[in-house]
Amino acid sequence: MTMPFYASVEQIMRDRSELARKGIARGRSVAVLSYADGVLFIAETQNASTALRKVSEIYDRIGFAAVGRYSEFDNLRTAGIRLADMRGYSYDRRDVSGRQLANSYAHALNSIFTEQQKPYEVELCVAEVGKDPESDQLYRITYDGSIVDERGFVIMGGQAEAMTLTMREIYHADMSLAEAIELAVRALASVGGSNGEPRELPPDQLEVAILERSRPQRAFRRISREALVELLPSTAVVDVPVGVDVPVADAASEVAEVLPPGPPPEPQPGRPPAMPRPADVEAGAGVGVGVRADSEAETDATITTDTDAEVATAGRTDVGDGPAGDVDAEPSGATEDAEPGNDSGNDSGNDSGNDSDNDPDNNSGNDPA
């Protein structure tokens, strides 16, 4: 005879709780908070659906918000609307309260959690707006039927604990609707970004509704996407009128701000040459032209100086160390054949001419004008 499968009650409840918590954590977050003029509901949605709502109206001054499996909490929402309508029709509309609905939801979820094989993966919030912020009622009902009377705000789904810490630091009851939406969006976007950084929540991914305190009977009202864009803080955009010239910064001034003053440093091996100075750019001649002109001027000056020095050296080589007009001694044969009256003229002319033409270092004769 085989032994039947047995599991302790604690293990069964623990497994059901873990299943429900994981399903709720996978859902997108919802924030419900009380502000000066009513109660705000703001839910994060994926596709900004107009049919699948996380936030809804239950009765005149009672709202409903939920996270988790949509099919499960939508059944609970429908049951709550029917219960409130039956009670209001049977007795009086003033006899329908948020506390009664929250207790009914708690009993239903507790029965499902303990009796059925699979619990509901949902978490609910029932809110009722009062005459002032101190009289607002926020009830939080968990998957196992536990009910908590929250003060000020409620955040459910996703990383609710981290968002609650952020909201607790910035929340205050006497704020306007725009401030309440800003704080709620900041709390919802405080987690989930890359490397733990905050993320951005565009208006098309938010479902927003309010219970307006000043309305006499049905206080529930949804906020459209166009109105939400106006309420959310955005970066100011300056429009430039048509026909107005906008000054553009000069490129030379931008380069002057970046580059240090003075001549550019000499290029080093393995590094590209430095950029030209801003003065060359502002001169209007162009960087390449200015550099080329400087190089040609330096080359001409170098050639002229070298040529003059070589000519002077050649003259000093032809003229001897004796008295002025005397030439270097020639070989004996050349001296005897030369005429006595033409020694100085012929020798000096021939020597200077030959030296100038045959000297490989002298470019004065072959240098073009």
Per-residue CA distances from 84 to 80, 104, 123 (Å): 6, 10, 20
Determine the Cα–Cα distance for residues 52 and 31; give it in Å rounded to an integer. Answer: 17
d(CA 274, CA 265): 7
Helix/strand/coil for 58: strand
Q: Are the beta carbons of 70 and 56 closer than 8 angstroms? A: no
Contact 77, 52 (CB under 8 A): no
For helices 343-358 and 287-318, the axis angle rounded to 10 degrees is 150
Q: Which residues pair with 220 in a beta bridge?
A: 211
DSSP lists the bridge partners of residue 34 as: 39
Q: In a structure prediction context, what are the per-residue pLDDT tens digits for the chain, which is 369 residues long?
A: 566 677 888 888 999 999 999 999 988 899 999 999 999 999 998 765 667 889 999 999 999 999 999 999 999 999 999 999 999 999 999 899 999 999 999 999 999 999 998 999 999 999 999 999 899 999 999 999 999 999 999 999 888 888 999 899 989 889 999 999 999 999 998 887 777 788 888 888 899 999 999 998 899 999 988 888 888 875 333 333 444 443 434 444 444 444 455 555 565 565 655 555 555 555 554 444 444 445 454 545 444 445 454 544 444 444 444 444 444 444 444 444 444 444 444 444 444 444 444 444 444 444 443
d(Cα 123, Cα 62) in Å, to the nearest integer?
Answer: 17
Distances (CA, A) of 58 to 71, 259, 334, 347: 17, 68, 136, 130
Q: What confidence score (pLDDT) does residue 272 get?
A: 59
Which residue segments constitute the domains of the chain, with CATH numbers given? 9-231 (3.60.20.10), 248-276 (no CATH), 285-358 (no CATH)
Q: How far is 207 from 228, CA to CA, in rounded Å?
A: 9
Half-sphere exposure of 343 (CA within 13 A, CB side): 17
Identify the pLDDT of residue 276.
57
Q: Are 82 and 64 in contact (CB under 8 A)?
A: no
Kindly report the length of the chain. 369
pLDDT, residue 264, reads: 55
Distance of CA 204 to the CA centre of its chain: 20
- CA torsion sign for 228, 230, 234, 240 is positive
DSSP summary character for residue 215: -
For every residue of 228-269, DSSP letters joined together read HHHHS-----PPPPTTPPPP---HHHHHHHHSPSSSPPPP-T
Contact 196, 162 (CB under 8 A): no
